[in-house]
Amino acid sequence: MSSKILIFITILVVLVVSNFSLTTSDIVSDRTTLLSIRSALRGRSLLWNITSPTCSWPGVICSQDKSSVLELHLPGMGLSGQIPSGLFSNLTKLNFLSLRYNSLSGMIPNDLFTPLLDLKNLYLQHNSFSGPIPGSIFNLTNLVRLNLAHNNFSGSIPESFNNLRGLGTLYLHENGFSGQIPNLDLPGLIQFNVSGNNELNGSIPSKLSGQPKDSFLGTSLCGKPLDLCGEGQNGKKKKLSSGAIVGIVIGCVVGLVLLLLLLFFCCCRKKSGNNQETRSADVAGVNNKNVEVEIPEEKNVESTNGSGKDGFLGSAIAAMGVGRANKDKGKVEGVLGDGKSLVFFGKMAKNFNLDDLLKASAEVLGKGTFGTAYKAALESGITLVVKRLRDVTVPEKEFREKIEEVGKMNHENLVPLRAYYYSRDEKLLVYDYVPMGSLSALLHGNKGAGRTPLNWETRAGIALGAAHGIAYLHTQGPLVSHGNIKSSNILLTKSYEARVSDFGLAQLVGPSSTPNRVAGYRAPEVTDPRKVSQKADVYSFGVLLLELLTGKAPTHAVMNEEGVDLPRWVQSVVREEWTAEVFDLELLRYQNVEEDMVQLLQLAVDCTAQYPDRRPSMTEVTSRVEELCRSSFIDSGGDIIDNAEVQTA
C-alpha cells in the first residue's frame, strides 16, 4: 500500500514540475519578445522593471494563470523607428495590440502579424506608417476592431478585408489610399471611415451607404450618403437629343422672361417703399439720408429663413439690441457705431477686423447661458464663433480686466478666446470654431437607427481632455474656477478631442442669466451661481462623468422619479449592487472594459460627494483618469468613433 502512495506522489510531483516548467517556458519566451520590442522601438524607455514579474509591467496583460501575454497596450509611449520583421513572433496568444499615438514609421513587414491569429483588436492610428497594408492582417480572422487612421498608408484598399468576417470597426481615414473602395461585405461592420483620402474615387459601395456622411468627406467619392454620382461618371457620355436641346432653350427663355418680370416688380415695390419712407421722414422733420430702419425683435432675427442662416452678423446683432441698423450688409449704426474696434489677445493673428466680422454671413448656433452664439463665415474663408453676451453687470474696467485674464488662458483643451468687443450696449466675444459641436449633442442627439455609437475609449478620451482643461484653469489661482461645467460646454474637434468652452464668464453676468445654466450640474453648497469654488467645479465634472457613463442627461429626472438627480440615482443603484444597470447600453457592447468603467464610475461618485472637502482636486481627478486611460490603453488623444471605434486602445 505504501509503495502505491509513493508512486502516486511521484507522478503528481512530475506533473506539477512539468506544468510549472511549461508555464515558465511560455512566459520567459513572451518576456524575451517584450524586451526585444523595447530594444527595437526607440523612444523613451518603457516603464518595465526587469526585476519584476513580466505580468506586472505597465501595459502588459497576462492570462489568468500568468502563462502568456494576452494584451499589449503601448499608446503614446514615444516609440519611434521601423518595426522589424518577426518582432511579435512569440506572442502567439496575443488578442489585443495597441501602438497608437507613437512615432513609428516605414513599411510594416508583410509577415509581422502572421503569428497573431488570436488578435481581436489592433490599433496603429496616429503613427507614420507608409506603404500598403501588410498582407498578414488579412489572415487575422478573429479581428473585430482595426484602426489604421492618421498614417501614410497608400495604394488601393484591398478586397481581402472581406476575409475578416467578424470585423466591426474599420478606420482608414487620413491616409493616402487611392482608387475605388472595393465591395466590402462585412455583416458585422458598424464603424467605418475613409475620410481624408483625397485620391479615393468612384462610387460608394451600397453596403456602406448607411455610414455617416463624415466617413467619406475629403475624398472624390460619390453616391449615398454623399452627392449622387453624375452621368458619365464611368466615362460613358450621353449626347442630348435634339428635342431635349429645344426644351432646354425654351425653358431658358421662359425663365429669363420671368426673371425680368420679377426684377421689374421688385423695383416698383422698392420705389414705392422709398417714397413712403421719405414722406415719413419729412413729417418727422429729419433728412431722409439719416433714416434708420427699425429691426425686428430677436426671435424674428433668428428665424428669418427658418434656420437662422444666410443673414449678416451685424444686422442680427443690431436686431437683438436696443439700437438700430441699416440693412446694408451688416453695417450697424447706433449699436456698434461708437468708433471702438476688436481687441485681440497675445499673438493671435489679426487677419480680420470688426467690419469684416459684421459683414460675415451668420448662422445662429443657439442660445446659451451667457448669450446667443453665431457661426460667422468671413469673406476671407475664416470661420469663427461670435458670442453676444447678455446681462453683463460689471463696469467696463472690471469687464476688460476679467476678459483679459480669460484671453491669457492657453491650453490645448480649452477653446481659445481670440478677440472681444466692448461698448455700452454690446459685448462680443470671438472664438475659434470647433467643428463637431458639443458633447451634449453627441450623447443625446440622434438616437435613431443611423446613430454611430459613442464607444468606451472615445468617452474616456473626452473625459481626460476635459479634465486636463479644467485642471489647467484651477492652476491659474486658488479663486479661478470655470463655474459652468456641463456637456454642452465641452466641444469636440474632428478627431473628437475635448475643448472646454465658456470658462471665465460666470462672474460677468447678472443673476437673471444663472437659474437654468446649472440645472443638474450645480454642487449642493452653491447658492450664488456667480460664485463657484474649484470643489464645486469638481462636483460638476463628476456629473459630467456620470453623463458619459450612463448616457443620461442630468437635467432630466431619471427612473421616472421626479426630483431624483443623476448622482443620487447612480448611488442608489450602486448600493443595490446592480452596477451594470447604470451604464449606457452603447457601452455594454464593448468587452473587457467593465472594470475600467467601474473605476471611472467610482471616481465620478467621489467627485459628487455631498461635502466639498471629501471631493478630490481636479489635479487628482486628472491623474486618476489618466491612469485609468493608460491601464485601459487610452491616451489623451482619443479618437472618436474615430468615428467610433471601440476605439480603443
Here the cell at position 615 is 471631493
Q: Are 69 and 36 in contact (CB under 8 A)?
A: no
What ranges make up the beta strands (E) of 381-476? 383-389, 417-422, 427-432
Beta-ladder partners of 177: 155
Closest CA to 325 of 296, 351, 350: 296
Closest CA to 69 of 16, 118, 135, 131: 118
- Eight-class DSSP state of 132: S
H helix and E strand count, the chain: 13, 25
Work out whether strand 490-492 and strand 498-500 pair parallel, antiparallel, or are unpaired. Answer: antiparallel
Who contacts 373 (Cβ-Cβ below 8 Å, separation ≥6)?
A: 364, 365, 366, 367, 385, 386, 387, 388
Q: Are 483 and 506 in contact (CB under 8 A)?
A: yes
Q: Are 357 and 342 in contact (CB under 8 A)?
A: yes
Beta-ladder partners of 332: 325
Closest CA to 521 of 479, 491, 483: 483
Closest CA to 193 of 257, 522, 352, 204: 204
User: How far is 327 from 314, CA to CA, in rounded Å?
Assistant: 9
The answer to whether 387 is a known ligand-binding residue is yes
Beta-ladder partners of 343: 420
Q: Cell 449704426, residue?
A: 333
User: How far is 151 from 492, CA to CA, in rounded Å?
Assistant: 21
Work out whether strand 220-222 and strand 199-203 pair parallel, antiparallel, or are unpaired. Answer: parallel
Here the cell at position 3 is 509503495
Q: Are 555 and 519 in contact (CB under 8 A)?
A: yes
- 468: number of CA atoms within 13 Å, CB side? 21
First to last CA, the chain: 59
User: How far is 10 from 68, CA to CA, in rounded Å?
Assistant: 28
Closest CA to 197 of 179, 224, 177, 171: 177
Closest CA to 541 of 600, 470, 480, 646: 470
User: How far is 429 from 389, CA to CA, in rounded Å?
Assistant: 8
Fill in the amino acid letter for 239: K
Residue numbers in the known binding site for ATP are: 387
Residue numbers in the known binding site are: 387
